[in-house]
Structure 1
Amino acid sequence: MTTRARTTTVSWNGANARRLDRQFLSDGAPSTGSPAQDVTAAVAAMLGAHAQVLSAAELSAGLRAPGTTRTDVRTALWTDRSLVKTFGPRGTVHLLPAEDLPMWTGALSAVPAGSSPFSKDARMTPEQVEAVVGAVADALTGAELTVDELSDEVIARTGPWAGDLVMPAFQGMWPRWRQVLHLAGHRGALCYAPNRGRKATYTNPGTVPMPAREATTELVRRYLRAYGPATPVHFAQWLAAPRGWAGRVFEELAGAGAIEEVAFEGCGAAWVAAGDTLFPSAEPRGVRLLPYFDAFGIASRPRERLFPGAAYGRALAGGQAGNFPLLLVDGTVAGVWHQRRSGRRIAVTVEPLSPLDAGRTRALEEQVAAVGEVLEGNPELTVGEVTVGGHA
């Protein structure tokens, strides 16, 4: 890769403190106006809130926007439509800012597809993939359909082959076309609509993807502002993209002067957006609670610095981040926690990996109160062992 002379050396503490600041996880998170605007700004700052479990996304966004609630998140999503629920990085369901959807769809559509995990008999040809994505887009234009209703429309528009039950599912088999559901989201042909009862529905957001090169450049720039310094491998891991492709993207951007190289403690050569080389000198301070699959815990690298010592074994699942809600103390993972709701009562159990002093205990109590505010319930804190497993 073409490189520049490294004129900046970045410490782990400096990088971590800046990431916390830019993730709205430091004290004094900025307010942009209405609760819905604050929530949308928070989701933009973290580059999407993981929403496979919507309550986790509500916490991720709400805890970054003090004074907001899960109702504010839902208002931004379903009423103001400043947020969109769709398939984002790693092919997983995320909340994304609606105004950023052209960038996301343009960039995600540009990521090369990996090898198919399905058997040869279950796979689709490139022509079939295009036919299904087109059928999804047509069927969802001006409509809100459940997955079963969408399946009927796709099969009617393409052919019986799309309905062959060849995809292993939780308690049976899914039709062939379902393997490109997330791709339809990445192409801008599909996003979630409000639930119909307990069933999810989908619609066509009418998004025109940004041109691939422009979108990818912008996504890398935003990623490096949020999580830099970072390497092409870090970016590939975050996006679930081929490492070779990510390396070529970074090389092209470096050659164009869009990103610049720094020396990053623990990583060697890493990259930031061009000119974005100012980092705090003060070490991170404070206590934070982050929910399942929070973007900060997933994207911050190197992972062993964010999860030091015993935290690497306790708060990760075989090295994978996201399965456990995290207790952050002074910017690093220092424990796990769990919440269980019964009516308005929210039982919060926090397991620190080392004892908290009086000041940090008070800060933890404030964080628990914030969890209660976001979830619109009455929290009760217990400091002790979390006995449930990952993603419980």
Structure 2
Amino acid sequence: MTVAAISWSAANARRMERQFLRTPAKPGEAGPGDVVDAMLAAQAQVPSAAELSVGLRMDGATRQDVRDALWGEEPSLVKTFGPRGTIHFLPAAQLPMWTGALSAVPAGPSPFKAGDRLTPAQTDEIVSAIGAALDGARLTIDELSDEVVARTGPWAGDLVMPAFQGMWPRWRSVMHLAGHRGVLCFAPNRGRKVTYTRPPTSGEPPLPAEVATERLVRRFLYAYGPATPREFAKWAAAPGGWVADVFASLASSGEIEAVEMDGEPSAWVVAGDTDFPGEPVRGVRLLPYFDAYVIASHPRERLFPGRAYERALAGGQAGNFPVLLVDGVVAGVWHQRRSGRRITVTVEPLAPLSTGQERELAGQVERVGEVLEGRAELVVGAVRVGAHA
């Protein structure tokens, strides 16, 4: 049985509210770890964009606050391999859930030739070697490679994995699994070199697979619901059939319930979580590359209406452009160029802005500068930079 119909506008307003996009967190209300927890995770393959994603959700925060949360004495964030195998900031307090859930997602078909693939036993041996090498250490990728090969065998170092300008050793094909299993994360750079270590831990092991995956689904629905199993599967890069089984288990135990959204009775929320804002979103926001909100929110055609669907998506993929939001939907793209402390923010609206919206946009640009610890200036015009890979 479904509850009363929910409009997409109300769902969108609740998503933005819960992610501190409607009103940024006040000082003392939520720190970087809490904010990323509200987002579930912050994609961080572009580090400055991830810092901006988090900082914009906190009143008065800067990128240094995010860095302190990552590298300080009591870190509340961990930089590691998250959903979709991509680099993310994850809340340290939720690592037992994340490692349990990510390790449980069935692997897809291997892209490597049969002779280059790792067996399950070899994968386990490499992950164990990575964890042992990083215990109490901070290693560059070359140092880690030497340790893994020394602890396993020459086969792990065979150059069989296509890379940007050459070939990588075989063991790196499962490096992300070491992150998923909780034995690898990023450490502060050594000069310009990336380093790795073991994640900070409270001693809690990964949650059991079923407990962790069901908890992650509930957390996803709280942050981005109403949502469908297909939308969760896309976000998690998980097999559709496996996700359908997880949803079915949660539904049968009464932990999630189906709702109607814009006439479609196929979306889900956490059981009893059916209160939605009465007012739609108003105002202007700037979101950087790969912001969690645009990646996880569906349906795409509602968040990217009209021209935005072609201009602000890359073949239907969200996150590859920084976006301008007007009243909760994508209404343009933007780009920033930095020279010392000067940051030029070029914004390309897809429709004329009102005088009030222009003032809000100027305020958002100023806030971007504050987060990035620079002086931002606004230029309204065409963005010539293409989509990020």
Q: TM-score scaled by structure 1?
A: 0.96
Q: Which residue of 2 aligns with 1:325?
A: 322
Counterpart pick for 1:68 among 53, 61, 65: 61
Q: Which residue of 1 aligns with 2:102?
A: 108
Residues 282-326 of structure 1 show CA distances to partners (whole Å, capped at 9, x for unaligned) of 111110000000000000000110000000000000100111000
Amino acid at match of 1:151: S
Instruction: Say whether residues 1:344 and 2:341 are aligned partners.
Output: yes
Shift of 1:265: 1.6
Q: Which residue of 2 aligns with 1:17?
A: 13
Residues 48-98 of structure 1 show CA distances to partners (whole Å, capped at 9, x for unaligned) of 111111100000000000100011110111013111000011110000111
Asked if the contact 1:141–1:206 (Cα under 8 Å) also holds between the matched residues in 2, the reply is no
Q: Which residue of 2 aligns with 1:31?
A: 26
Shift of 1:206: 5.6
Counterpart pick for 1:56 among 38, 42, 49: 49
Map 1:273-288; keep pairs closer than 5 Å: 273-288=270-285
For residues 102 and 227 of structure 2, what CA distance do their matches in structure 1 show? 19
Shift of 1:10: 1.1
Amino acid at match of 1:342: S
Map 1:151-230; keep pairs closer than 5 Å: 151-205=145-199, 207=201, 208-230=205-227
For residues 200 and 370 of structure 2, what CA distance do their matches in structure 1 show? 34
**What secondary structure sits across from 2:114 in the alignment?**
coil
Counterpart pick for 1:334 among 317, 331, 335: 331
Q: Which residue of 1 aligns with 2:40?
A: 47
Asked if the contact 1:12–1:266 (Cα under 8 Å) also holds between the matched residues in 2, the reply is no
CA RMSD of aligned residues (A): 1.2
Asked if the contact 2:156–2:170 (Cα under 8 Å) also holds between the matched residues in 1, the reply is yes
**What secondary structure sits across from 2:31 in the alignment?**
helix
Change (3 A) 1:212 1:32: farther
Shift of 1:267: 4.3
Structure 2: 5+ residue stretches without partners:
none
**What secondary structure sits across from 1:229 in the alignment?**
coil
Shift of 1:275: 0.7
For residues 147 and 8 of structure 1, what CA distance do their matches in structure 2 show? 53
Shift of 1:38: 2.1
Q: Which residue of 1 aligns with 2:141?
A: 147
**What secondary structure sits across from 1:272 in the alignment?**
strand
Shift of 1:30: 3.1
**What secondary structure sits across from 2:172 in the alignment?**
helix
For residues 149 and 182 of structure 1, what CA distance do their matches in structure 2 show? 17
For residues 370 and 34 of structure 2, what CA distance do their matches in structure 1 show? 19
Q: Which residue of 2 aligns with 1:130?
A: 124
For residues 49 and 213 of structure 2, what CA distance do their matches in structure 1 show? 27
For residues 43 and 369 of structure 1, what CA distance do their matches in structure 2 show? 22
Asked if the contact 1:190–1:204 (Cα under 8 Å) also holds between the matched residues in 2, the reply is yes
For residues 27 and 340 of structure 2, what CA distance do their matches in structure 1 show? 32
Asked if the contact 2:27–2:59 (Cα under 8 Å) also holds between the matched residues in 1, the reply is no
Counterpart pick for 2:310 among 313, 318, 322: 313
Instruction: Say whether residues 1:389 and 2:386 are aligned partners.
Output: yes
Shift of 1:269: 1.2
Shift of 1:243: 0.6
Instruction: Say whether residues 1:7 and 2:3 are aligned partners.
Output: yes
Residues 237-292 of structure 1 show CA distances to partners (whole Å, capped at 9, x for unaligned) of 00010011000000000001110110112643110001101111211111000000
Asked if the contact 2:235–2:295 (Cα under 8 Å) also holds between the matched residues in 1, the reply is yes
For residues 38 and 189 of structure 1, what CA distance do their matches in structure 2 show? 25
Amino acid at match of 1:44: D
Asked if the contact 1:192–1:200 (Cα under 8 Å) also holds between the matched residues in 2, the reply is yes
Structure 1: 5+ residue stretches without partners:
none
Say which is worse superposed, 155-164 or 197-206, in terms of deviation: 197-206
Asked if the contact 2:27–2:58 (Cα under 8 Å) also holds between the matched residues in 1, the reply is no
Matched residue pairs, number?
A: 385
**What secondary structure sits across from 2:51 in the alignment?**
helix
Counterpart pick for 1:243 among 233, 237, 240: 240
Shift of 1:8: 2.8
Q: Which residue of 2 aligns with 1:84?
A: 78
For residues 18 and 375 of structure 2, what CA distance do their matches in structure 1 show? 29
Change (3 A) 1:87 1:267: farther
Asked if the contact 1:336–1:352 (Cα under 8 Å) also holds between the matched residues in 2, the reply is yes
